[in-house]
Amino acid sequence: MTVLILTSEQDVTADMVVAALHLRSVPVMRLDPADVPGKAVLSADYAHGDFDGHLSVNGHVLSMGGLRSVWVRRPGEPAAHASDSSSWLTAETRQALYGMLYSAPTRWMNHPRNADQARYKLWQLRIAHLSGFAVPPTAFTTAPRVAQQFAEEYRDVVVKSASGPPPGDPASALPTTLIGPGADFSTVAAGPALLQRYVPKRADIRLTCVGPRLFGARKRSAPGQVDGRYGDTGYAWETTAVPDRIAKSVQEYLALSGLAYAAFDFAEDEDGLWWFLECNQAGQFGFVELETGQPIAEAVALWLAGRTGERRVPESRG
Amino acid sequence: MTVLILTSEQDVTADMVVAALHLRSVPVMRLDPADVPGKAVLSADYAHGDFDGHLSVNGHVLSMGGLRSVWVRRPGEPAAHASDSSSWLTAETRQALYGMLYSAPTRWMNHPRNADQARYKLWQLRIAHLSGFAVPPTAFTTAPRVAQQFAEEYRDVVVKSASGPPPGDPASALPTTLIGPGADFSTVAAGPALLQRYVPKRADIRLTCVGPRLFGARKRSAPGQVDGRYGDTGYAWETTAVPDRIAKSVQEYLALSGLAYAAFDFAEDEDGLWWFLECNQAGQFGFVELETGQPIAEAVALWLAGRTGERRVPESRG
């Protein structure tokens, strides 16, 4: 039974997981969907009464019946490396590759169906609320008056991007900006603004979840710092215990969202309360492992190898 | 409680459903996501302990608590009509609009999460097989040798596109082409080919499913005709009874895929057996209603109005 890792060629984090799988003699196939068709060959058929499928990369063949698990890490766009690439070829290749994989009875970290939904920030807040997390008051609006009222009510407010930083911004720019009620909100009408009550905090928390295993990391905040995930604060990430109440909410969140892997960001306030900020289903863990020594890559490898006692994700059910 | 219809301005099929809802005095809001931000204003917030959201179009306001159901018909791309449209603005607006709608406890026809997965042809065949439909032998491959062997084994084989016709093809071109084993399969290596055993048929079947209601339509085939969905055959669509076995498989398929609406295409062979060809979660029904007089638009309206005794789709669970 083989683990399939979908990622691009340059991916140090995937290298760490592959190494951990090799140590345990678990067969691995690494595939960049951009290399289909071309370096990688695929075939799926229903020719003899039931489904079968094969992937072939560099002479190694993986049968869908022998698929242990799929890790959707950083896959390239299907057919992107083809000599005659086109949006139609990408669409057809996506149909062939993912259609075949979706038809296989396997475990996913994470299934694209669940990953796509988990990217919606408002949905995250809703699921977080249902799971029992403390969620800071938040508004997402195209109405300048609503944005103005929100800022007047909560005074210290941060503005965030929901889909990622706007193009052209320097990578070092802080994606979260603190504003006051005196700001000009008229531009909200031209593009939705995500506003959140600022949580005065003494630390940032990154909680990495690999199936049932939780890795809590904490970084003290520098005074007045808004977004501790970026830039140098003079403090490092350190392992921290995960409160039982949080662990329970995390399991509820993962069950509601169908995620096997997730990286949660919290703000720890002056009273020690963890406020839910967001949950990134594809969040990086390399930097946390490097600074804390937490064996996250190994945990991912063990989950993919199916040695954590996790149930198989059901094939599909609305 | 209001029905929300996501579609573009020019949509005659939506007009039919809107008329049926008006007849029954069911409040309707029609929205093209392309008009957000701009014509339509949205606001969502978690400001007072729980989620709330509003959509405002032409002075009409729809609260998320008053959302009866959502029909995803032919929505434009979010922010496409904005004066300063960009891919980033589209991404942010998609986050705001769909994030808000995903957070509402409502019924979907169809939820985009389920619709996205239901588009994969190989997955369709797998679910069709699990649901008990007869599925013609099919291969989807980038290996010329596999394609060649498939054509040799089944002799009469059709080639299809999985994602839609290639760009530039005339709209009148038949998307399904009959080939023999003597064809040149070398180009398969450059792009995946979807091959299916040709089903010699006496009729095409279009089965339109609206929740639990099934509308069977049948069109006799012209001799030698490969794809009866396109072009004039001299025959019209006529209402046909749906065999019990098919009705049972349809309900299983809808349950497995989480779809509330689906249009199935079958080929009826010389023995009267219906072979599953595909299931289009957004398949048109206007032409069937026009030729057969089946009240499909009314059935859609009744489902959206919540008057068919259907259970509410669960909010989310893996």
pLDDT tens, residue by residue, B284-314: 999 999 999 999 999 999 999 996 544 444 3
Distance from CA of A32 to the nearest CA of B (A): 15
**A:256-275 residues touching chain B, CB 8 A cutoff:** 256-258
Question: Hey, of B41, B56, B102, B122, which one would you mutate to test binding to chain A, going by the most A CBs within 10 A of its CB?
Answer: B122
pLDDT at B192 exceeding the cut of 90 = yes
Rg (CA), chain B: 22
Q: Do A44 and B140 touch (CB under 8 A)?
A: yes
Residue of chain B minimizing CA distance to A51: B126
State mean pLDDT over A285-295: 95
CA–CA gap between residue A95 and residue A222 (Å, rounded):
48
The shortest CB-CB distance from A92 to any of B113, B163, B316 is to B163
pLDDT tens, residue by residue, B6-15: 999 999 999 9
B142 touches chain A (CB under 8 A): yes
Q: Contact at 8 Å (CB) between B215 and B208?
A: yes
Per-residue pLDDT at B51: 87
Per-residue pLDDT at B47: 78
Bridging pattern class, strands A157-160 and B52-57: unpaired
Per-residue pLDDT at A125: 95
Question: Hey, of B163, B169, B185, which one would you mutate to test binding to chain A, going by the most A CBs within 10 A of its CB?
Answer: B163
pLDDT tens, residue by residue, A243-253: 999 999 999 99
Per-residue pLDDT at A51: 87
The shortest CB-CB distance from A125 to any of B46, B114, B256 is to B46
pLDDT at A18 exceeding the cut of 50 = yes
CA–CA gap between residue A139 and residue A256 (Å, rounded):
23
ipTM: 0.90
Residues of chain A with pLDDT > 90, as a percent, come to: 76
Q: Do A42 and B316 touch (CB under 8 A)?
A: no
Q: Provide the mean pLDDT of chain B.
A: 90
Q: Do A318 and B50 touch (CB under 8 A)?
A: no
Residues of A in contact with B121 (CB under 8 A): 95, 99
Q: Do B95 and A192 touch (CB under 8 A)?
A: yes
The shortest CB-CB distance from A88 to any of B117, B166, B317 is to B166
State mean pLDDT over A53-76: 95
Q: Provide the mean pLDDT of chain A.
A: 90
B51 touches chain A (CB under 8 A): yes
- Strand ranges, E, within chain B: 2-7, 28-31, 40-45, 52-57, 60-63, 67-74, 107-109, 138-141, 157-160, 177-179, 193-197, 201-210, 213-220, 238-239, 261-269, 274-280
Per-residue pLDDT at B168: 66
CATH of domain B2-109: 3.40.50
Q: Do B120 and A98 touch (CB under 8 A)?
A: yes
Fold of B116-133+200-305: D-amino Acid Aminotransferase; Chain A, domain 1 (3.30.470)
CA–CA gap between residue B30 and residue B53 (Å, rounded):
17
pLDDT at A318 exceeding the cut of 80 = no
Residue of chain A minimizing CA distance to B78: A191
Confidence class for position B55, pLDDT limits 50, 70, 90: very high
The shortest CB-CB distance from A89 to any of B113, B143, B191 is to B191
Q: How many Cα atoms sit within 13 Å of A178 on the Cβ side? A: 9
pLDDT at A48 exceeding the cut of 80 = no
Interface size between A and B, measured as CB pairs under 8 A: 254
The shortest CB-CB distance from B146 to any of A43, A50, A256 is to A43
State mean pLDDT over B157-182: 71
Bond from prior residue into A58 cis (ω within 30 degrees of 0): no
pLDDT at A171 exceeding the cut of 60 = no
Residues of A in contact with B83 (CB under 8 A): 190
Residues of chain B with pLDDT > 90, as a percent, come to: 76
Bridge partners, residue A3, by sequence: A28, A69
The shortest CB-CB distance from B313 to any of A87, A167, A318 is to A318
pLDDT at B61 exceeding the cut of 50 = yes
Distance from CA of B160 to the nearest CA of A (A): 10
Mean pLDDT is lowest, of A161-175, A193-207, B88-102, B172-186, for A161-175
Per-residue pLDDT at A232: 67
Per-residue pLDDT at B222: 80
| Biggest distance spanned by C-alpha atoms of chain A | 69
pLDDT tens, residue by residue, A188-222: 999 999 999 999 999 999 999 999 999 999 999 88
DSSP three-state, residue B86: coil
Per-residue pLDDT at B209: 98
**B:57-116 residues touching chain A, CB 8 A cutoff:** 79, 82-84, 86-89, 91-96, 98-100, 102-103, 113-114, 116
The shortest CB-CB distance from B126 to any of A92, A103, A255 is to A103
Per-residue pLDDT at B220: 94
pLDDT tens, residue by residue, A95-150: 999 999 999 999 999 999 999 999 999 999 999 999 999 999 999 999 999 999 99
**B:183-242 residues touching chain A, CB 8 A cutoff:** 189-192, 194
pLDDT at B109 exceeding the cut of 50 = yes
Q: Contact at 8 Å (CB) between A247 and A273?
A: no
Per-residue pLDDT at A161: 84
Question: Hey, of B42, B138, B141, which one would you mutate to test binding to chain A, going by the most A CBs within 10 A of its CB?
Answer: B141
pTM of the model: 0.91
pLDDT at B187 exceeding the cut of 90 = no
Q: Do A121 and B100 touch (CB under 8 A)?
A: no
The larger pLDDT score, comparing residue B249 to residue A170, is at B249
Q: Do B126 and A255 touch (CB under 8 A)?
A: no
What single string gives the DSSP state of each residue in chain A? -EEEEEE-S--HHHHHHHHHHHHTT--EEEE-GGGTTTTEEEEEE-TTSS-EEEEEETTEEEEGGGEEEEEEEEPPPTTTT-TT--HHHHHHHHHHHHHHHHHS--EEES-HHHHHHHT-HHHHHHHHHHTT-B---EEEES-HHHHHHHHHHHSSEEEE-SSSSPTTS-TTS-S-EEE-TTS--GGGGGS-EEEEE---EEEEEEEEEETTEEEEEEEEPPTT-S-TTSS--S---EE-PPPHHHHHHHHHHHHHHT-SEEEEEEEEETTSPEEEEEEETT---HHHHHHH---HHHHHHHHHHT-S-PPPPPS---
Per-residue pLDDT at A309: 44
Per-residue pLDDT at A225: 65
pLDDT at B253 exceeding the cut of 90 = yes
pLDDT tens, residue by residue, B92-102: 999 999 999 99
